[in-house]
Structure 1
Amino acid sequence: MTDIAFSAYLAFYVYLLMLLLQWGIATISKAKQANAVPGKIDESLSHSSFIFRAHRTFHNTLENSALFVGTVLFAFTINYQSALFAICIWVYVSARLVHMALYYVIATEKNPSPRTYFFLIGLIANIVMLGLLGMRFIY
């Protein structure tokens, strides 16, 4: 295995660990509440509630996972190895980790919030990864 492939695989593994961590935090914080109902979150909750923020952090990551996971697994499947691609995976994962941390600690209804910038960094990294894959087929 090349260093580039190892780096890309490691970044993807870190992403999966982050997803597991978010799921655990959202599940445990909600389950600790009195009268917690599995699969339901109190509709009256908002950003002032950590339970709401933990739930939204996890779901926001899930909403963005399809494109990221699909892009990365497609690259792995065709054995695409590029240092720039691996860097983009790390940028995406790092941006999502900062997004997660900011969502946990900042209770704001303001838009854009500081986490929005890290969402955009991750989105741009994903777009670059898709572009790199597309260029592989052109050249």
Structure 2
Amino acid sequence: MLDSYSVAFLGILTILLTVIVQSLVAAKSKASQPGAIPGKIDLSLSHSSFVFRAHRTFANSQENLTLMLGASFLAILTGADIFWTGVLIWSMAISRIIHMALYYAISTEQNPSPRSYFYLIALLSNFILLGLCAWTIV
């Protein structure tokens, strides 16, 4: 199974490493603030603050991680098409990295913001991967 799904596993590894990087960036940016309290974010912060954007980037990944990993491992365990499983997992991984980079770089309250499109690409990849799982099971 490891050889067959090696591209998919590398995509999953990339997603997990991305979340670790986001965690470190969020923790470092918050801890460097005067009077920082562990585990507590200043509620007055908004998109103009890098601390807020780093925190939201990490939180958004945490919110999506269960679905990402669940769909990914369900696809692998059910023997879903190897090629499409890899493509969809990498689509999620790359979209999340671009989402992160845009969130770090662009301070905007605009909706949709440029990062929203990459959030949607990752979400769509998840939905399609779940559909592939359903197709494989049936």
Check if 1:48 corresponds to 2:48: yes
Amino acid at match of 2:112: P
Change in Cα spacing, 1:28 to 1:2, as seen in structure 2 (3 Å) is closer
Give aligned pairs, total: 138
- For the 8 Å contact 2:85–2:129, the answer to whether it is kept is yes
Q: CA deviation at 1:102?
A: 0.2
Q: CA deviation at 1:4?
A: 4.6
Check if 1:17 corresponds to 2:17: yes
Identical pairs, percent: 46
Could you tell me how far apart the structure 2 residues matched to 1:35 and 1:54 are? 18
Could you tell me how far apart the structure 2 residues matched to 1:11 and 1:68 are? 11
Check if 1:137 corresponds to 2:132: no
Could you tell me how far apart the structure 2 residues matched to 1:48 and 1:96 are? 21
- For the 8 Å contact 1:29–1:51, the answer to whether it is kept is yes
In structure 2, the partner of 1:30 is 30
Q: CA deviation at 1:104?
A: 0.1
In structure 1, the partner of 2:63 is 63
Q: CA deviation at 1:137?
A: 1.3
Could you tell me how far apart the structure 2 residues matched to 1:127 and 1:4 are? 22
Matches within 5 A, 1:120-135: 120-135=120-135
Could you tell me how far apart the structure 2 residues matched to 1:2 and 1:12 are? 13
Could you tell me how far apart the structure 2 residues matched to 1:90 and 1:22 are? 18
- For the 8 Å contact 1:5–1:81, the answer to whether it is kept is no
- For the 8 Å contact 1:4–1:83, the answer to whether it is kept is no
Amino acid at match of 2:104: Y
Could you tell me how far apart the structure 2 residues matched to 1:76 and 1:16 are? 17
Q: CA deviation at 1:86?
A: 0.7
Q: CA deviation at 1:74?
A: 2.0
Could you tell me how far apart the structure 2 residues matched to 1:100 and 1:13 are? 16
CA RMSD, 1 decimal:
1.3
Q: CA deviation at 1:72?
A: 1.1
- Normalised by the length of structure 2, the TM-score is 0.95
Change in Cα spacing, 1:4 to 1:30, as seen in structure 2 (3 Å) is same
Say which is worse superposed, 104-113 or 73-82, in terms of deviation: 73-82
- Normalised by the length of structure 1, the TM-score is 0.94
User: After TM superposition, which residue ranges in structure 1, 4 or more long, deviate above 6 angstroms?
Assistant: none
In structure 1, the partner of 2:98 is 98
